[in-house]
Chain A
Amino acid sequence: MGNAIEVDAVSKKFRLSNDRTNSLKERAIRIGRRSPRTDFWALRDIAFDVPQGSTIGLLGHNGSGKSTLLKLIGGILRPTSGEIRRTGRLASLLELGAGFHPDLTGRENIYLNASILGLSKRDVDLRFDDIVAFAELEKFIDQQVKHYSSGMYVRLGFSVATNVDPEILLIDEVLAVGDENFQRKCLDRIKQFQRSGVTIAFVTHSPDLVRQICDMAVVLDEGRQVIHTEPKLAVRAFREHLLERAGLIADQADPDRPHGEVVRITGVTIEYPEAGRPYVRNGEPVTIRVAYDAKERVEDAVLAFALHANDGHVVFGQNSWGLGKRLVLDGSGEVAFKMEAVRLLEGTYPLTINVHPRLGGEMWDSREQEEHLDVLNEEGNFAWGVADVPVTLVSDAAREAHEVDRR
């Protein structure tokens, strides 16, 4: 099987300027003067291939160039040097419903949008009912789109984009929008595409999603390709990169943080079991150290921490009062929460720390999701989800699987 996408030494330079010279007058004034623009390399020497039928994740934090790369693959931007070769009909979910005209009806917009995506009228005729049914808009299809709710708009956009029988599908964090139900529907649709051999490239900053649906991943940082490898290793590289970066940023404390007049949280450190290894494996111990500074003596402070899942839900929370302790804080000091065993599966768990009086009424200080607890699965742990529950299988039908086959 050939490659659906070949990215060959691609670089992209943007020209940044403080204020844009979009009028001739300004241009005329600036003639002969040095241009105030500065060059900014959004991408440098990116190179990787995506075989037909595989799914590649472009992983990176904001500003790493991953969306620019997706736009280059989609042909929306042209590279400054290098080239991209792409084989197969393309559909992109860069923005759902881009190109809908508010004054046209849903029906008219389906035909228009599909032809922008390269479909002929006959193609659309065949798929029309499917598109409408998937979007659940049967009753509204002959109404002007401007009367649609934003949810209806997104549903129709997704439905058109995914019903064009793409051979290559580009997805730009669209899975982050919409309600949970719709997200699940999108994810189902993507898995369907994978099964039917569609090549998918998608951009995300969620390592979990990469692990869930990718065959390969590219990690980008400041426009450079950090690594191009299998999802697990890519996620690890991404984490380690992110942590290095977080170490640099942590020094610049946020001056706008609220509260802190009575008791302030001055620092949070996560103590992983091994020095120089910034993650914990399932079942290993971790200590969360919270440094505080009490401006006045308080007799019954409560210090709480919570670990969140990616969607913000609390996976686990505990506080000093729940642990049977009353905290008497005066001046600066430290509280350590020692978790004997982290019974969580692989993932990044944002950490929230709060300090407040036992009887409530006010929040002295809160540090929301500034730190992350990173968990990596033990070799050979193939469980999924959040909680790590040891399971054994007992059956006469069971035979030992070979390690090699399981991979």
Chain B
Amino acid sequence: MTAMGDGEMAGRYCSSVVTAAAAPTNVIAPRRSVYRHMVELWSYRELLGNLIRKELKVKYKKSSLGFLWSLLNPAMYIVVFTIVFQVVLKANVPYFPIFLLSGLLAWTLFATSLGGATGSITGNHTLVNKVYFPREILPLAAVGANCVHFVLQGIVLIGAIALSPVDFDLRWLWLVIPTMLVLLIFASALAIFLSAVNVYARDTQHILELALLAWQWLTPMIYAWRLPADKLKEHGITTSLLLLNPMVTIVVTMQRALYGQHLQDGKQMLPTGGQWWYLRNLGITGAGAVILFILAMRLFSRLEGNFAEEL
């Protein structure tokens, strides 16, 4: 090595000494707290961004239409479901494309996030086996990448709203923000949970597919809330029962904010409560999602110690 090379290294050393002073001590122990985990996750936020970017890049690398594909998917949904429900089955939902998309996009974000997250640790086993970083980043990156798709697909919805003569009620729009927040916490909790479980039981992926299929049809997005609610009322059962499914709260609130209250066959399609009613339900679901998230992190940190040996 030349003297110059050494000088260069010495210069570098100085800069790294500065960071060394700030470098915290990492403790690698059998367990660690959720709080420490969260702190560490935050310090790796840039990696999260990079992994999300990677997923999107890899997905669209070789396709000539690129991001347009994510727009075509909801567009296709509109065409097919409009034909089936409005034309063939005569469901009589006014402005059906807007109704459909306002609930369906949130659901798609949820379902594709879980699908991507479940295999995220097993699929990245070379990385998990060789390099340390907080592993929760992998399922979270799957959620993040699908958020980007959600935003893009939102363009289709905005386009549909702009093109149709529907009266858009701006006073309800703000509900989108807390709804999305609750949805993201709930989806992240399940994503973290499923990705860890899948390392130990690989059929989680298949079970998830079936569960999501059933779950989707149990959630009013292709039909309106009114349908199951009326059935329950006929039997004298409270409609709150429907709200036990957290996705019902989320989807219905999205529909109320982006689609609004409309009449189908002379009856109101969505719950008739005011904004406080919606917000209260969101609050309950959100609290449940936060508890679920903490539990998922705890389970994850118990299981992750042996990821490298199980993969």
Using a CB–CB cutoff of 8 Å, the interface residues on chain A facing chain B are 14, 22-25, 27, 71-90, 92, 94-95, 98-99, 101, 103-104, 108, 111-112, 115-118, 120-121, 165, 167, 188, 191-192, 195-197
Contacts and interface: CB of A to CB of B under 8 A. Distances in A.
Given A80-B30, A104-B57, 16 more contacts: A72-B28, A79-B28, A83-B28, A84-B27, A89-B16, A89-B23, A90-B26, A95-B129, A103-B57, A103-B62, A104-B54, A116-B133, A165-B15, A195-B6, A196-B9, A196-B16
B130 A76 contact: yes
Contact of B47 (A79, A116, A197): A116
A71 B131 contact: no
A25 B200 CA distance: 12
B132 A167 contact: no
B84 interface: no
A75 B10 contact: no
Nearest to A196: B13
Interface class of chain B by DSSP: helix
Contact of A167 (B16, B44, B128, B200): B16
A83 B29 contact: yes
Given A76-B308, A115-B50, A196-B10, A89 B19 contact: yes
A192 B132 contact: no
Interface in B56-89: 57-58, 61-62
A101 B61 CA distance: 12
Number of chain B interface residues as a range? 35 or more
B20 A167 contact: yes
Contacts, number: 142
Contacts of A72: 28
B201 interface: yes
A95 B128 CA distance: 11
B46 A78 contact: no
Of residues A84, A101, A117, which shows the largest number of chain B Cβ atoms within 10 Å of its Cβ?
A101
A192 B13 CA distance: 11
A27 B207 CA distance: 15
B46 A22 contact: no
25 contacts: A23-B201, A76-B131, A77-B305, A78-B304, A82-B29, A83-B30, A85-B25, A87-B25, A88-B20, A89-B16, A94-B130, A99-B124, A103-B62, A104-B54, A115-B46, A115-B47, A116-B131, A116-B133, A121-B46, A165-B16, A165-B19, A191-B1, A192-B1, A192-B5, A196-B10
A117 B47 CA distance: 9
